[in-house]
Amino acid sequence: MSHTERPQGAGRPAEGPDSVQQTRPTGTGRPGTSGAVRRFRFTVLEGPQPGQSKDSNADTFSIGSHGLNDFVIEEPTVSRFHCEVKVDHDGARLRDLDSRNGTVLDGVHVRDAYLRGGSILRLGRVSVRFDFSPETNRLLISDRTTFGELVGSSPVTRASFALMERAAASDATVLLEGETGTGKSRAAFAIHQASARASGPFLTVDCGAIPGNLLESELFGHEKGSFTGAIQRRVGAFEEADGGTIFLDEIGELPAELQPKLLRVLENKEIRRLGANGYQPVNVRVIAATHRDLRAEVNAARFRSDLFFRLAVVRIIIPALRERPEDIPLIAERILMAFGAGSEQLAALSTPEFIAQLQHAAWPGNVRELRNHLERCLVFQDAMPPDAEEVSAQAVLRSLVDPKQPYAEARRRALEVFEREYLDALLKLHGGKVSQAATAADMDRVYLYRLLRRHRLRT
C-alpha cells in the first residue's frame, strides 16, 4: 500500500457521507451548530491489557504513551505520540507522528494511509484493531463565517471558529497549529479581541526570528549590568503584556534552554528578569503558534513533553487553504478589498472561471501565497492563472521604469519589488523557517525578520 493510497471502500459508512455535515451559515455568531463524523474504535489485541478498547469522540484520534493522547497505551515501545487518525470526506486517514518504532498497517510500514474496517495496526510490541461504528460523533461548528480578520464558510473553517470562540471565552493557554501562511497570527489577535482581555495589550514575540542569546531578555527582560551591553534595566514582553495577551509565534523554535523557563511561567504565573534575584507575578494570557507538529518534536526529544502539555490546553488547527477551496471566493474578495480594488477590478478577478482556477491550485504558501498572487494580478491588471509562468524580467522592469520620476524614487520602487519577490521565494524555498532562510541568504535573522514585517510577509 502506498503512503496515501485509499483502499476501495475505506472509511465509507453504510449510509451517508462520513465527513462533517455542513449546516447553513446564518452569520449570527452563536456558539455553533453540530456536524457529524463517523465514530470508530480501537481495541488492543496484543500488549498491555488485551481487550481494552476506546471509541473516538471527535474527528481526530491519537494513540501514544503520553497522557494527552485519546488512547493512552503505556508500553515502552509505543512513542509518546505514536500515530493519529483523522476522519475526512475520503475516509479514516492514518498518519505516523515520527514515532520511534514506526507504524505498521496490515503488515506494511506506513507514514500516511487510509484504514479499512478490521485493519490491524502494530505499534512497537502492541497490536490494535481498527473498526468503524454505526454511530456518529457530533462536532461543534460555528454559525460564524468571519472571526476577526479570518473568513470562511466551509465546515472545517467554522469548526476552527467554534474552538476560537470557546478559547476567547476562557483564559486558557492556546496552541495554534497550521502550515506557514494560514493566518495563525490573525487567529491569535482575533481570540484576544474577542476575549475579556481585549482592552489590554497584545504583544507578539517571534521565537524563530530572534537569536537565542537575545530571546530570554526579549521575553523576560533584564537588569542593568546583567550582561555585557546591559546599560539599563529592560522590561520584557511578559511584563509589557501584563493584563493582556502575549503571542509566542513559532514556539517550536524555542531553544531547549528556555523551555523550562517558559514552563515555569505557565505553571506559576511569574517571571524573573535576567540578573534579578527574585520572581515577580504576571497576569498574562499565552497564545502560542507553530507550523511544526510539536508531538513529533516531543518524540524526537527536541521539545519538552511537559511544556507541550501546558501549551496545548486548547489546541486549534488552522486548516490549509487546499483543505477548504470553498472559502477561496470569500477570502479573495476580502484580500482585494483590502488592497483597494475598484469595482471593475473586483469584477474581473471574481469571474467563475478565475475563481475555479484559484480553487484548483495547490497553494503551498496558503493564504499568504494567494494574497501575493492577487496583488500581482492587480499590479498587471490581468487575471493570471495561479500556475502561469512568472512575468518576464523585462516586462517587470518596463512596468517599474517611469522617466517622469526622479532616479532615486524609481530606484526605491524597483528595490521594493525585488525585495518582496525575493523574500517571498526565499520563505517558500525553506518552508517558512526564518532561521534557515536567513542562513541560506547569508543575512542576519533579525534583519530578515524586519524585512518580512516591512513587506507584510509574516501572517
419 & 355 share domain? no
Assess if residue 269 is contained within a domain: yes
Torsion of CA 416, 420, 422, 424, to 10 degrees: 180
Assess if residue 16 is contained within a domain: no
161 & 297 share domain? yes
Q: Residue 67 class from Cβ within 10 Å (0-12 exposed, 13-18 middle, 19+ buried)?
A: exposed
pLDDT at 225: 67
pLDDT at 273: 86
pLDDT at 1: 41
End-to-end, the C-alpha distance of the chain in Å comes to 38
> Which residues does 113 contact at the CB level (< 8 Å), separation at least 6?
1, 2, 3, 4, 5, 93, 94, 105
287 & 333 share domain? no
Rounded to two decimals, the pTM is 0.75
Asked whether the beta carbons of 211 and 445 are under 8 A apart, the reply is yes
Range of the domain at 252: 146-317
Asked whether the beta carbons of 161 and 183 are under 8 A apart, the reply is no
Among 84, 106, 137, residue at a domain's last position: 137
For residues 116 and 9, what is the distance between their CA atoms, to the nearest angstrom?
Answer: 8
424 & 275 share domain? no
pLDDT tens-place string over residues 280-303: 999 999 999 999 999 999 999 999
374 & 432 share domain? no
Assess if residue 24 is contained within a domain: no
Q: What are all long-range contacts of 266-270, with beta carbons under 8 Å and residues at least 24 apart?
A: 266/173, 266/307, 266/310, 266/311, 267/310
The CATH number given to whatever domain includes residue 96 is: 2.60.200.20
For residues 444 and 452, what is the distance between their CA atoms, to the nearest angstrom?
Answer: 12
Among 317, 349, 366, residue at a domain's last position: 317
> Which residues does 241 contact at the CB level (< 8 Å), separation at least 6?
200, 201, 202, 203, 282, 284
Asked whether the beta carbons of 150 and 289 are under 8 A apart, the reply is no
How many domains does the chain fold into?
A: 4
Assess if residue 8 is contained within a domain: no
pLDDT at 141: 92
Q: Is the dihedral of CA 422, 427, 433, 436 positive or negative?
A: negative
412 & 380 share domain? no
pLDDT at 382: 86
pLDDT at 130: 98
Assess if residue 414 is contained within a domain: yes
Assess if residue 27 is contained within a domain: no
Assess if residue 127 is contained within a domain: yes
211 & 189 share domain? yes
Low-confidence ranges of the chain (pLDDT < 50): 1-33, 389-394, 459
Distances (CA, A) of 42 to 56, 128, 421: 8, 6, 49
Assess if residue 23 is contained within a domain: no
Q: 287: which strand partners?
A: 174, 247
171 & 309 share domain? yes
205 & 291 share domain? yes
383 & 249 share domain? no
301 & 283 share domain? yes
pLDDT at 413: 74
The CATH number given to whatever domain includes residue 301 is: 3.40.50.300
For residues 422 and 454, what is the distance between their CA atoms, to the nearest angstrom?
Answer: 13
pLDDT at 400: 62
312 & 241 share domain? yes
Among 261, 289, 317, residue at a domain's last position: 317
pLDDT at 406: 76
pLDDT at 25: 31
